[in-house]
């Protein structure tokens, strides 16, 4: 039997939540306004223990919770009360079957993603797939003209108003469907073995769960609308950075800051064991590194990175791997920058930058969490998807293929240049010396043109420098250009048909050459 309800005019709310933030207070306020409250399981116990009068759903359906809680709300006494249109024909049918209307559904779902994230066993993960919850949410959202649907504690206050507008009802319904669609996407990804946290394969179907995280004035250009979106529940170092001072971030600021921070962190991890490389500074312009340096402290690292290319760094984005002190901040006087991102900025440095560089966006990077390893790029009508290129130096087996062996310093510089060229747009060539980039050529349609740009950028600083290329050499022209400029060692993937000719040219000219066996195209 059902509860024998008639349409008495008293409003009824159904509360059944996994996230119990604010639900007791919400139930108290509903009860104070004369609402009848239905509830289940842990939610029922929480609100009754707080002194709120409530009825269990099983009292309404006439059936107890079954199958270890798998079945409790899947019943006409619940879904009829939610789905009935508030018109005579539907209400008469409810009365005929002794079913009362339900005017508010407050539900959020079993913690499926959290269960996956903590590494639970498969059977436990499956038990955290909610069935009744999504059904109630979708039913209420479909009938939002007569039923308020709440999936977010932030919306509880809205439901306590005397009247909720049709626009707000529709907004809550859209939010509810987004909530269930994201939940279903997470389940799909898990079952396909490609959960956002760590995909093991590229599935046949890929769902991107995107939520707008920030609005920007426009995209790359003023005529393009733009916004910043979060993938699933991930937290990004730039996306969630703390903005200490400066203007709002732009679309291009986000892209460049993310590129700068990525390279900065890779180098910081790679160079952590080298005593004089305690600080990394990366300057980026249009998503390409334009000045990168290692040093004992941030001030010196900044000065070296700035001096690597004083023209390109103007208007650039800078990332550093260690706290920015007042002394380091003052060293940036005289150079216009768009963004500075660091793990920490001292209060004195923040105050000085806010006063002297009020437009500079000063960011403290957030800790990355749940970041997808997928790299997704748009195509007309679709997307190209791959795993990110995160292969570190320690995963390589570098092979010296020339008669001359690199010196100890050259090995350090080759490793540094390799990390840098990996983050530059192809075709890319990087010249480095003593832990500083002295010449970069990126985004060229010819490898020789990239090398020529890097050599020209370096000038006399090419003497004694090393050269890294993200892809192999089809000819020996880059070797001969590098030798004329004074380069002493070269790093490249190898694997070209003319490798023997390229190696022979190095031996002829007295250069060292190292093959990595791994290329790093970045289009």
User: Which residues are part of the catalytic machinery?
Assistant: 142, 286
Structure tokens at 149: 């649907």
CB burial string 327-341: b at 16+ within 10 A, e below: ebbebbeebebbbbb
Instruction: Report d(CA 142, CA 149) in Å as an integer.
Output: 10
Question: 32: exposed, middle or buried (C-beta count within 10 Å: 0-12, 13-18, 19+)?
Answer: exposed
Q: How big, in percent rounded to 5, are the helix, strand and coil portions of the chain?
A: 40, 20, 40
Q: Using only C-alpha atoms, what is the Rg of the chain? A: 30
**Residue 295: other Cβ atoms inside 10 A:** 22
Q: 489: closest CA among 395, 392, 404, 398?
A: 404
* Cα separation values, 478 from 200, 207, 427, 436, 446, Å: 38, 43, 13, 21, 11
Question: CA-based angle 480:485:488, to the nearest 5?
Answer: 80
d(CA 317, CA 339): 5
Q: Are strands 12-17 and 36-39 parallel, antiparallel or unpaired?
A: parallel
What sign does the CA torsion over 97, 100, 105, 110 have?
A: negative
Q: Give the residue from 367, 323, 355, 359 showing the smallest Cα distance to 339.
A: 359
Q: Are strands 436-441 and 466-469 parallel, antiparallel or unpaired?
A: unpaired
Read off the DSSP letter of residue 107. Answer: E
For residue 409, the SS3 value is helix
Backbone angles phi, psi at 376, to 5 degrees: -115, 125
Beta strands 148-150 and 104-108 are parallel
Q: Are 522 and 423 in contact (CB under 8 A)?
A: yes
**In this structure, are residues 465 and 487 in contact, taking their beta carbons and an 8 Å threshold?**
yes
Residue 224 CA: distances (Å) to CA of 213, 217, 220, 251, 254: 18, 9, 7, 10, 16
Distance CA 415, CA 88 (A): 77
Which helix (H) or strand (E) segment is 231 a member of? strand 227-231
Measured CA to CA, the distance from residue 115 to residue 391 in angstroms comes to: 29
């Amino acid at each position: 039997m059902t509860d024998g309800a008639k349409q008495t005019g008293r409003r009824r709310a159904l509360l059944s939540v996994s996230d119990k933030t604010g639900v007791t207070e919400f139930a108290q306020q509903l009860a104070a306004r004369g609402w009848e409250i239905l509830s289940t399981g842990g939610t029922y116990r929480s609100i009754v223990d707080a002194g709120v009068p409530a009825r269990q759903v099983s009292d309404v359906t006439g059936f107890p919770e079954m199958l270890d809680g798998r079945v409790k709300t899947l019943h006409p006494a619940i879904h009829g009360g939610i789905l009935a249109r508030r018109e005579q024909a539907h209400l008469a049918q409810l009365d005929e079957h002794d079913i009362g209307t339900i005017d508010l559904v407050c539900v959020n779902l079993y913690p499926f993603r959290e269960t996956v994230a903590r590494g639970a066993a498969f059977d436990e993960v499956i038990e955290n797939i909610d069935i009744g919850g999504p059904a109630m949410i979708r039913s209420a959202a479909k009938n939002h003209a007569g039923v308020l649907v709440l999936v977010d504690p932030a919306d509880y206050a809205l439901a306590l108003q005397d009247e909720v507008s049709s626009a707000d009802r529709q907004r809550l319904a859209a939010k509810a469907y987004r909530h269930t669609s994201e939940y279903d996407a997470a389940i799909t990804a898990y079952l396909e073995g490609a959960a956002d946290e760590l995909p093991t394969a590229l599935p046949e179907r890929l769902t991107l769960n995107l939520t707008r995280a920030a609005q920007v004035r426009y995209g790359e250009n003023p005529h393009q609308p733009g916004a910043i979106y979060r993938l699933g529940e991930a937290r990004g170092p730039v996306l969630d950075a703390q903005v200490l001072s400066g203007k709002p971030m732009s679309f291009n600021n986000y892209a460049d800051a993310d590129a700068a921070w990525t390279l900065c962190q890779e180098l910081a991890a790679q160079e952590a064991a080298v005593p004089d490389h305690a600080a990394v500074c990366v300057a980026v312009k249009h998503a390409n590194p334009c000045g990168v340096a290692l040093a004992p402290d941030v001030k010196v690292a900044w000065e070296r990175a700035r001096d690597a290319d004083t023209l390109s760094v103007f208007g650039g984005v800078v990332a550093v791997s260690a706290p920015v002190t007042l002394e380091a901040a003052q060293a940036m006087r005289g150079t216009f920058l768009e963004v500075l991102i660091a793990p920490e900025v001292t209060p004195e440095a923040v105050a000085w930058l806010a006063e002297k560089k009020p437009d500079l966006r000063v960011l403290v990077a957030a800790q990355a969490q749940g970041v997808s390893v997928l790299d997704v790029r748009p195509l007309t009508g679709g997307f190209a998807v791959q795993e990110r290129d995160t292969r570190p130096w320690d995963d390589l087996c570098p092979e010296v293929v020339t008669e001359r062996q690199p010196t100890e310093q050259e090995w350090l510089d080759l490793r540094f240049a390799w990390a840098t060229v990996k983050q530059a747009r192809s075709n890319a060539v990087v010249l480095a010396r003593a832990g500083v980039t002295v010449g970069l050529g990126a985004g060229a349609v010819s490898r020789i043109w990239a090398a020529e740009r890097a050599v020209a950028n370096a000038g006399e600083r090419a003497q004694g420098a090393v050269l890294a290329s993200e892809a192999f050499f089809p000819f020996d022209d880059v070797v001969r250009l590098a030798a004329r400029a004074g380069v002493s060692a070269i790093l490249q993937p190898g694997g070209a048909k003319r490798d023997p000719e390229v190696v022979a040219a190095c031996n002829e000219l007295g250069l060292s050459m190292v093959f990595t066996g791994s290329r790093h195209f970045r289009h």
